[in-house]
Amino acid sequence: MEIEAVEGLRKPLENMRMAKNENDDKQPTQRLIHPDGPSNRRLELKKTKGQRNNVYIGNLPSEIAEEQILQLFAAFEPVRVRKIVSGLKCYAFVNVGVAKNVALAISHLNNTIYNGRRLVVRDLCESRGCESSTEATELPPLEKVDKDFSMGSKTLSVSRLVKDDSQTCYAVPLEMRSLTLVQMLSSCFKDVGWLTESAMVYGDVGLMVMDSFPHMPYFWAMNLTPETYVKMCQLFNALSVITQEQPFLKSEEVQRGQRCMAEFPGEGGEWNRCWIVDVVASRVILFYVDSGSTACVPAGSVKSLDKDEFWAVPPLVQPFVLLQGVMGNRKMDGTILKGSVVGFHEAEPHILRISITTEE
pLDDT at residue 145 greater than cutoff 60: no
Q: What was the pLDDT predicted at 208?
A: 92
Instruction: Evaluate whether 216 touches 326 at the Cβ level (below 8 Å).
Output: yes
Residue 189: per-residue pLDDT:
87
Domains of the chain: residue spans and CATH: 13-135 (3.30.70.330), 174-359 (2.30.30.140)
Q: Residue 158: is its pLDDT beyond 70?
A: no
pLDDT per residue over 104-123, tens digit each? Answer: 889 889 888 888 778 889 88
Instruction: Give percent of the chain above pLDDT 90.
Output: 24
Q: What is the mean pLDDT of the chain?
A: 75
pLDDT at residue number 303: 94
pLDDT at 44 over 60: no
Question: Three-state SS string across the chain, please?
Answer: CCCCCCCCCCCCHHHCCCCCCCCCCCCCCCCCCCCCCHHHHHHHHHHHCCCCCEEEEECCCCCCCHHHHHHHCHHHCCCEEEEEEECCEEEEEEECCCHHHHHHHHHHHCCCEECCEECEEEEHHHHHCHHHHHHCCCCCCCCCCCCCHHHCCCCCCCCCEEECCCCEEECCCHHHCHHHHHHHHHHHHCCCHHHHHHCCCCEEEEEEEEEECCCCCEEEEEECCHHHHHHHHHHHHHHHHHCCCCCECCHHHCCCCCEEEEECCCCCCCEEEEEEEEEECCEEEEEECCCCEEEEEEHHHCEECCCHHHHCCCCCCEEEEECCCCCCCCCCCCCEEEEEEEEECCCCCCCEEEEEEEEC
**Residue 319: per-residue pLDDT:** 93
> Alpha carbon of 308 to those of 273, 327, 338: distances in Å?
12, 35, 34
Is residue 250 over pLDDT 50?
Answer: yes
Dist. CA 136–CA 118, nearest whole Å: 21
- Report, as an integer, the average pLDDT of 343-352: 85
**Residue range 276-319, pLDDT digits in tens:** 999 988 899 999 999 998 999 999 999 999 888 899 888 999 99
Confidence at residue 3, expressed as pLDDT on a 0 to 100 scale: 37
pLDDT at 119: 87
Closest by CA position to 29, among listed 105, 75, 82, 99: 82
Q: What pLDDT was estimated at residue 27?
A: 41
Whose CA is closest to 274, among 225, 216, 315?
Answer: 315
Mean pLDDT of the region 252-270: 84
Q: What's the confidence (pLDDT) of residue 214?
A: 83
- pLDDT at site 355: 94
Q: Is the pLDDT of residue 348 over 50?
A: yes
% of residues, the chain, pLDDT over 70? 69
The arithmetic mean of pLDDT across residues 167-172, rounded, is 79
pLDDT winner (highest mean) among 79-83, 132-136, 356-360: 79-83
Question: Who wins on pLDDT, 125 or 289?
Answer: 289
State the pLDDT confidence band at 125, using cuts at 50, 70 and 90.
low
- Per-residue pLDDT at 326: 87
Distance of CA 11 to the CA centre of its chain: 25
Residue 219 has what pLDDT? 94
Stretch 184-201: mean pLDDT: 78
pLDDT at 264: 83
